[in-house]
Every structure is written in C-alpha cells, then in structure tokens.
Amino acid sequence: MRGLNHQLKQLCQHNREGSFGTQNRRERELTLIANQLHEIGFRGMNSHSLKPKHVEGLVWHWLEKEVAVGTIKNRMAAVRWWARKVNRQNVVARSNDFYGIPNRIFVTGSSKAKSVSAAQLEKVRDQYVRMSLELQQAFGFRREEAIKFIPNYADQGDHIVLKPSWTKGGKARVIPIRTEEQRELLNRAHKLAGKGSLIPSNRDYRQQLRIYEGHTVRAGLSKMHGLRHAYAQQRYEELTGWKAPTAGGPISKSLTSEQEALDSKVRLIISRELGHDRAQVTGVYLGR
C-alpha cells in the first residue's frame, strides 16, 4: 500500500464522524482520490502534503473524465474533510465555483426505478438480506437503513420511525404505513428479528453489509438504489392521481395552477419520506 493511501486510511480510522455508511463512503472516496493523485503524476505524497495544485489536478481529471457533478461534489467534500483533519483547509477553495464545477442537476429525464420480483428474491439465500431488500422496495429505505432496521423500535402501528443512527446525515424520519402488504411485510420482519435488528446477533453491520453485497451480486441484482426511485414514483402517483414525468406523466409546464400547487406539496412530502430536506431533490426521482 502506498504511503498516502495508508495515511488516509489511518486518518479515517482515527476520526469516526457520521454514520457507518458515511465513514465507509469517505474512506472509499479518499482511497480513490489517493490512487488518482498517483495516476495523474503526484507521487510520494503524504497526508500533510496536500496543495492547491493537487486539488486543481483532481478536479481537472474528473471534469475531463466527465464524472457526474454530484459525484465530483461528494469527492470535494472528502478532500475538504481531509484538509481540515491535517490543518490544511486553506489549500482548498471554499466554493466549488472556483474550480469551474457546474451546479448539480436535480432533474432527470429518464426513470431509474427498479423492482425486485419474487423470483429474484428467491435467489437471495440469506433471509436477513432478503428482508432488507423487501423493506427497501416497500418503504424506500436506503440500504443502511434496511440493514440496521429494528422492527420492534420502528413499527408504531400506522407509521415507521427511523433512528438517526440508521440514516444518512443522522436525520430521524417518519414514513407512513399505508397498505396491507406493508403491514404483512412488517409482521414478517418482527418474526425474523424479534427485538433485534436485521443484523443477526453473530454479525456486526460491516459483516452484514458484505453479506448483503455478496448475495445481491450472486442473485444478479444491482443498483438497488433504484428501489427508492420506484417508491418515489409510486407515492407521487398515489398522492397526485397522475404519473411522475419520469414514469411517462405530464411535465410541470403542462400542469394547471391547481395541479402545480398539488405537485409542489406532494414533492415536499416525498422528499421528507426519503430523508431529504428539499423538494428540489425529488427531480432526481420524479423528473420535472
């Protein structure tokens, strides 16, 4: 392992901030960044040798490779975290505009919705992974939320409460229980987990995450974040009476003033159910 890779790994391990998922993503991003710095010609670096030329070189590399804007911004957040931890925050510009990084696009024209069929679920041999996938599909959970889920805590009869420690950014949230199918699924989750979570007592989260990844790959399942897209589109149609733009429904410009008002209200509801603060983010799931 190269020196920079090792030092950034140590930096992550000694600074446990955010949820496990956040920590895991940060470590992966910094490992990638260290590899890319080496690839573009910056050799022999250590964690304290970060300079403006390194940041500019990374951004130029990402833009040249046409990396998605959201991905670049996530990587820049990791670079800023690194800089703060070694007291070199002044080498990174405060604004992404300085580097010519465009604004993130929160609207998509194509649907990324996915579903998991009963036949596909049967190929997932681990019953805890299978249950997590079903919960992702039924309630729009993120992967970490579905793995850490404790039915005995979360199930409040007519709604679910997610703990801050399960969620991205540590934001607790409430999701309604609307259908008999959701209730039946939660009953099965209770039976499987008892008073615990969907992580078996002989495993920790890290182990269960690896098992989740292994079983989904072997079952031919990928991009399970698409289950959240499907949930958002289903909720949109349920609450408005018409399909979301990405699912073939009318675009915003064609809505009447009454429909526009309902559209705005529904997007805010869905944004909160998915764990976001801004209705604007729903453009990724629903289109405009």
What is the pLDDT of the chain when averaged over all its residues? 92
Q: What per-residue confidence (pLDDT) applies to 249?
A: 94
Cα separation values, 134 from 138, 141, 186, 190, 240, Å? 6, 10, 10, 13, 25
3-class DSSP state of 255: coil
Give the residue from 33, 65, 99 where a domain finishes: 99
Looking at the fold, whether 206 and 231 belong to one and the same domain comes out as no
Give the residue from 36, 66, 99 where a domain finishes: 99
Range 156-162 average pLDDT: 97
Residue 111: which pLDDT band, with cuts at 50, 70 and 90?
confident
Q: What is the Cα 182 distance to its own chain's centre?
A: 22
Looking at the fold, whether 193 and 244 belong to one and the same domain comes out as no
- Report yes or no on 41 lying in a domain: yes
| Boundaries of domain holding 280 | 227-286
Looking at the fold, whether 93 and 10 belong to one and the same domain comes out as yes
Predicted TM-score (pTM) of the model is: 0.69
Find, among 179, 169, 188, the residue nearest to 17 by Cα. Answer: 169
Q: List, in order, residues 6 or more apart from 178 with CB less than 8 Å away.
A: 238
Range 134-146 average pLDDT: 96
Looking at the fold, whether 93 and 42 belong to one and the same domain comes out as yes
Looking at the fold, whether 198 and 160 belong to one and the same domain comes out as yes
Q: List, in order, residues 6 or more apart from 136 with CB less than 8 Å away.
A: 142, 143, 146, 224, 227, 228
Give the span between the Cα atoms of 110 and 226, in whole angstroms: 12
Q: What is the DSSP letter of 96?
A: G
Element (H, E) at 176: strand 173-176
Residue 100: which pLDDT band, with cuts at 50, 70 and 90?
confident
Give the residue from 219, 251, 273 where a domain finishes: 219
Does residue 1 have a pLDDT over 90?
no
- Report yes or no on 215 lying in a domain: yes
Residue 105: which pLDDT band, with cuts at 50, 70 and 90?
low
- Report yes or no on 115 lying in a domain: no
Looking at the fold, whether 137 and 192 belong to one and the same domain comes out as yes
